[in-house]
A = this chain, B = another copy of it.
Amino acid sequence: MMKRTVFFVSDRTGITAEGLGNSLLTQFESILFERNSQPYIDTTEKMQEVIDQINQITEQHSLRPLVFSTLIDDELSAMLHHSQAMVIDFMHTFIDPLEKELNIKSSHSIGKTHGLVQDGQQKSKIDAIHFALQHDDGASFVQYDKADVILIGVSRSGKTPTCLYLALQYGLLAANYPLTEDDLDKTLLPQALQPFRNKLVGLAMDAERLQKIRTQRTPESRYASLHQCQLEARKALAMLQEQGIPYLDTTATSIEETATKIRMLLRKTHP
């Protein structure tokens, strides 16, 4: 298998450089990429260290590394472009055309991007995390009226990770309520949820997948038996459908996908 070294260089966290860089690399499956993250490259000294590494690898392997960069600073970026690497520049490639289109000069300043503490935004994310934790697994119904969304589903259908992702990524107030066997034996929605019907989103999951996940947690328990999982999955789905609650199938979707789809649902129901 062919190997190639890849650097992600950023003057902040590098999350964006890694995100888009990795998306591009997945299009070249037959190559084994050795990844090397270089966040907080914000001085010429740090930049020179990275360049020394790049040039050393180029000489060792007779093959230049790929570098995905979100550097903003013109001087640091110029240094990188003068290294021996192939530089994919996610900022400067687009800054020029955007300046022309918007007919305005860009500020070319570091720290304006996502890494910066924006006090309000940061606070709302932290509040949202604490909200998710306080309202995890039906722990409290006190502030359901403040929730942006209340996820319902059987145990291990993905409620907690999805709530936390909605909080961390978007600052949404997400509560979750587990549908227990008692709940599922009734045809009506659990009483605590009835006043908040328009905030509910169901998470449904195939019994086989549910069994797999539960078995990892408590092997050979009734809770993790295929019979029990089939029963709960079927009854939960029936309740969601009968009650007309919008729901998502989380059997084969990642946390990020489920969260994105919930945002799309919320936009439709609460535009």
Q: Which residues of B contact A257 (CB under 8 A)?
A: 12-13, 115, 117
A245 within 8 A of B: no
Q: Contact string, A143-155, partner B, CB cutoff 8 A, digits 1/0? A: 0000000000000
A10 to B: closest C-beta gap in Å: 9
Tell which of A26-34, A172-180, A187-195, A227-235 binds the partner: A26-34
Q: Which residues of B contact A216 (CB under 8 A)?
A: 123
Q: Which residues of B contact A98 (CB under 8 A)?
A: 24, 27-28, 66, 88
A101 within 8 A of B: yes
A134 to B: closest C-beta gap in Å: 11
Tell which of A51-59, A74-82, A105-113 binds the partner: A105-113
Interface members, chain A 2-38 (any B CB < 8 Å): 4, 12-16, 19-20, 22-24, 26-31, 37
Whether B129 and A160, one on each chain, are in contact in the complex, defined by CB atoms closer than 8 angstroms, is yes
Q: Which residues of B contact A264 (CB under 8 A)?
A: 39-40
**Contact status of A126 and B19, CB under 8 A, knowing A106-B28, A115-B257, A257-B13:** no
Listed in ascending order, the chain A residues whose CB lies under 8 Å from chain B are 4, 12-16, 19-20, 22-24, 26-31, 37, 39-40, 66, 70, 72, 86, 88, 90-91, 93-95, 97-98, 101-102, 104, 106-109, 112-118, 122-123, 125-126, 129-130, 133, 136, 158, 160-161, 164-165, 168-169, 213, 216, 252-257, 259-261, 263-264
